[in-house]
Structure 1
């Protein structure tokens, strides 16, 4: 059988400071007809550069691609740019990680997909419209005909990714390159997209080159796997063999870093991730946290009936025509030394809940008690005092750190702002905290851009600790990190929790990580908590249909599940927008086990 894509001795270099630097070296692999080949590795491994080299999308003059890239026997590196335009979108197509930056915001999605058909298939506008609607229906976009004339911003993240897939499939290519197509998506949307790619592959008989760092996704979708590490191809083989008998230390280390849903059964306390050396593959067994939570004490944080809404204005006079019900009647408590995780899809209100507690957004009503103080009544000096007791770690540390400020100054700044000591004391404290989060104090004079993503997140954690807070709100603080870095940062947070008796409000959509780090879990849907209880109760005996849906969508790092389809609903998350005069219904909860509450439908 002849490969659809055959890559031989691919070496890609970039021009850096006047010299060529290899970032991908001597990569070789084949993608057979109807096969899915995964290229896996962490950030900087060269996997995305490999795919961009194949598509001819690297900047001319700044990049050099050597070797052979044969598509159906034709060497793409010998083609002119005009000839490559006939190949892209026609014989091979690509789905990118972030659909909003790949779709043109000023054109309707129908026009953007139709362009592929008129360009490569010579269809008339009417023919292209009919075929585009058929393709949108194929990727399970509801009411495809009526959505043809809508713009990218009118679609959710998951639906935009479906539009990208429709565009890639419009000309029925023989090869689909999917570059991290599910990394930025919620777990349920990720499950839908993986199911969709499997189904379309069966229907169209196309080959897929799937690029990811998520070993759970690899296990579910790939027939064969290529493992890359720092620009080199270190291992290739059938996915089952890679998972069960990986030869290279890095491969084994990647697999050891992956949290598996259900691995916490019988474990009373949160469990650290195994400490893995990514170079040697040596794994130190995970260590459970000691029991630091005393439920006899008064909670450090108590939230009752919290409501946060955002007004929608319209008309000539800017009257309020409706409200976004972001947080609706939310109640929970948090003990010193405890981690309460809030989980749910994008738009469910979990981040707004965290911001409301800190008064970064203003709630409409409710009570927030912190150490006996009513947070919602504070102002001025009282509010500044609150910020000493509650700190936040954001999802993207690069955007939360001042790029013009050294990391030493960034960590010391809150200490100085709250006048807790002299400048010298602030620098000593910053040095001590950086050392505590695993960074040498000698790095204090560097700037944020000189650090990796995982190191920047450690800096953000050090900064949050500079005021000795009692509560830390961690808002998707590990979502954007590679799997091994994610494990390291989670272990760091648990170490710090034990050392400083911290309470964490851990906001995430990563169910496997949440299961590992949590004492208790709250599940949010459309601004409301639909289920809350001890971690073991929620994960081992989920009661609400939405909780069960979240669990079912999590990719499992087991190649035996390849080909399994979850049958998840493709409905978009319902809108939290309500008319201005809307009154929410009264909600009742039943206690199915001690501390385990479920909303009654």
Structure 2
């Protein structure tokens, strides 16, 4: 593949031309090929998407083009030409000048790409000053403009803040601003919208399209989101186990995919609206990626006991962060991250929290587990008064509630084998012997789609999706009652996402687990949830049964979220989402700010909507 007609990957005067690209890694004195003879072209202002399951070689392809793989541990063969210039023949110094100037890359995990000891503004300005003759003052002004363009609120004030002070979605927007700083000829976007909610995702995709038109920029888009592929890609490359199994026009691939894996991948895509007529969560269809055959699993029995006591009760949970500045570090403002949030979670129930990046979803989850200390509120978990606990009692409480974090790489110790990482909570909480921990870890790794013989490997040896599965296995080691899943499937391609969601639903049914499911993927939320809470600027603006919220959204923000969901249909590519971007409001308030009392109206039993709130 990769030669012949335009649909197969060849274009006239390509910006990027890749021929017979093969990449191998050294493993125990042998070379293992993970990308084999991949060929394609990208034309001026064209977007080409690479899709495939986690570990298929799509990210390795992009890293090979950028020459970001270790020269000692990897071998790149073939031809990679940028505007006729062979990148594989350049010296290391010449390639450094190309990166960030002619080619820019947005990485999948922003926290590993940003230096934690420097402010984000400084890091973007540095990227500008390395490639351009620009003064410090002009660089700062340009950085603020870029941050505003990717909708970082209060960009001038956040210039001097550090990566850990930003939410996962905001860090991804910082990375996008950095990549776009030098107006590159080619942008390689490796899962650039993974951490973003649908409204910001829609705006970022529109931003990239606008820059393509203004700057003549080409894009290589790597993603597992077939809805995004349908919206942005002119042509699509489908990769499976290191091979490009199908290349063609995106519309042709969606309508008439030829390879069984392509058909299987499309069959696994969750589609918003597919749950109409069902009040309960439903397992995802399972697809045989070898044959493309689809099998609908049985529906899930209702395990929620409404007339029993909730496993988790939250009342008026409030978490705020001071903003300090000046010579004496005085408090200049307060971030109202979570403001008077209340809800119940029942045994065997999934309550999903959705909302814009930075709205307080993750902070809510961290506050419940006391990884962050709230200012006030009442939290009762399985008989524990969470807010009053400390020391050994707090540690005991955390056996009942476990968290799957948004960024799997940041939550895994890079110096600890994944077997040790999964076993650690079992051993630390003294649940059994090391041998018992090893057996349970091996069984759980097998359940999440990995194998026991991987236990000696380290986090850097796994793809992003595989690392997320490791994190899920670790969360299950203590047999918790509640799991806070913070974007637990955001890094997974659709086929693995379906497997992991089905696993979570099966575990819920067999163990009566409760999930607080934090996600920006509305199609997945619709599939797995019993109830849904919509958050905006730290507050719940709408909460109710999943069917009621999705089929009859009442709050303007809920309607905005649902309308922004990308649809996996290339025929709708020219249709604009009716999303009024506006200005992203800020949760930062003056120190003397007193939040107004909120009122809710019940539109249907259990379906409540905030009233009297400016949107």
Q: Do both share a fold (TM > 0.5)?
A: yes
* 2:128 maps to 1:113: yes
* Cα distance in structure 1, aligned partners of 2:417 and 2:215: 53
Q: Secondary structure at the match of 1:296?
A: coil
| Aligned 8 A contact 2:49 2:237 in 1 | yes
| Aligned 8 A contact 2:147 2:177 in 1 | no
RMSD (CA atoms): 3.9
Partner of 2:335: 324
* Cα distance in structure 1, aligned partners of 2:398 and 2:322: 26
Matches within 5 A, 1:11-410: 11-60=22-71, 62-79=73-90, 92-97=103-108, 105=118, 107=122, 109-110=124-125, 112-113=127-128, 115-118=130-133, 136=146, 139=149, 156-157=170-171, 159-169=173-183, 173=185, 175-313=186-324, 320-371=331-382, 373-379=384-390, 382-397=393-408, 400=411
Structure 2-normalised TM-score? 0.83
* Cα distance in structure 2, aligned partners of 1:48 and 1:444: 21
Alignment counterpart, residue 553 of structure 2, candidates 542, 549, 552: 542
* Cα distance in structure 1, aligned partners of 2:494 and 2:261: 12
| Structure 1 pair 204–286 and aligned structure 2 pair: CA distance change class (3 A) | farther
Cα displacement (A) at 1:419? 5.7
Cα displacement (A) at 1:492? 0.6
Q: Secondary structure at the match of 2:399?
A: helix
Q: Secondary structure at the match of 2:566?
A: coil
Partner of 2:19: 8
| Aligned 8 A contact 2:403 2:486 in 1 | yes
* Cα distance in structure 2, aligned partners of 1:214 and 1:88: 26
Partner of 2:5: none
CA deviations on 1:228-261 (whole Å, 9 max, x unpaired) are 2222111111111111211112212222222122
* Cα distance in structure 2, aligned partners of 1:530 and 1:418: 38
* Cα distance in structure 2, aligned partners of 1:551 and 1:214: 16
Cα displacement (A) at 1:4? 3.2
* Cα distance in structure 2, aligned partners of 1:374 and 1:368: 6
* Cα distance in structure 2, aligned partners of 1:589 and 1:230: 51
* Cα distance in structure 1, aligned partners of 2:64 and 2:319: 47
Partner of 2:9: none
Cα displacement (A) at 1:160? 1.9
Count of aligned residue pairs for this structure pair: 592
| Aligned 8 A contact 1:515 1:535 in 2 | yes
* Cα distance in structure 2, aligned partners of 1:46 and 1:425: 35
| Structure 1 pair 391–112 and aligned structure 2 pair: CA distance change class (3 A) | closer
* Cα distance in structure 2, aligned partners of 1:49 and 1:444: 20
- Between stretches 317-326 and 253-262, larger displacement belongs to 317-326
- Between stretches 375-384 and 259-268, larger displacement belongs to 375-384
Cα displacement (A) at 1:45? 2.5
CA deviations on 1:448-490 (whole Å, 9 max, x unpaired) are 6477665655555455445443322222222222322222111
- Between stretches 242-251 and 382-391, larger displacement belongs to 382-391
- Between stretches 338-347 and 360-369, larger displacement belongs to 360-369
| Aligned 8 A contact 2:104 2:179 in 1 | no
CA deviations on 1:514-550 (whole Å, 9 max, x unpaired) are 1110000001122111110111111122222222222
Cα displacement (A) at 1:392? 2.8
* Cα distance in structure 1, aligned partners of 2:428 and 2:95: 57
Q: Secondary structure at the match of 2:362?
A: helix
Q: Secondary structure at the match of 1:9?
A: strand
* Cα distance in structure 2, aligned partners of 1:475 and 1:145: 26
CA deviations on 1:30-71 (whole Å, 9 max, x unpaired) are 223332221222333233333344344444455443333344
* 2:542 maps to 1:516: no
Could you tell me which runs of 5 or more consecutive residues in structure 1 were left unpaired when the two chains were aligned: 119-123
Cα displacement (A) at 1:195? 0.6
| Structure 1 pair 559–522 and aligned structure 2 pair: CA distance change class (3 A) | same
- Between stretches 531-540 and 274-283, larger displacement belongs to 274-283
| Aligned 8 A contact 2:349 2:515 in 1 | yes
* Cα distance in structure 1, aligned partners of 2:141 and 2:326: 38
| Structure 1 pair 150–577 and aligned structure 2 pair: CA distance change class (3 A) | closer
Q: Secondary structure at the match of 1:169?
A: coil
| Aligned 8 A contact 1:133 1:144 in 2 | no
Could you tell me which runs of 5 or more consecutive residues in structure 2 were left unpaired when the two chains were aligned: 1-11
| Aligned 8 A contact 2:144 2:159 in 1 | no
Cα displacement (A) at 1:358? 2.7
Structure 1-normalised TM-score? 0.84
* Cα distance in structure 1, aligned partners of 2:313 and 2:158: 47
- Between stretches 543-552 and 466-475, larger displacement belongs to 466-475
- Between stretches 150-159 and 250-259, larger displacement belongs to 150-159
* Cα distance in structure 2, aligned partners of 1:458 and 1:112: 34
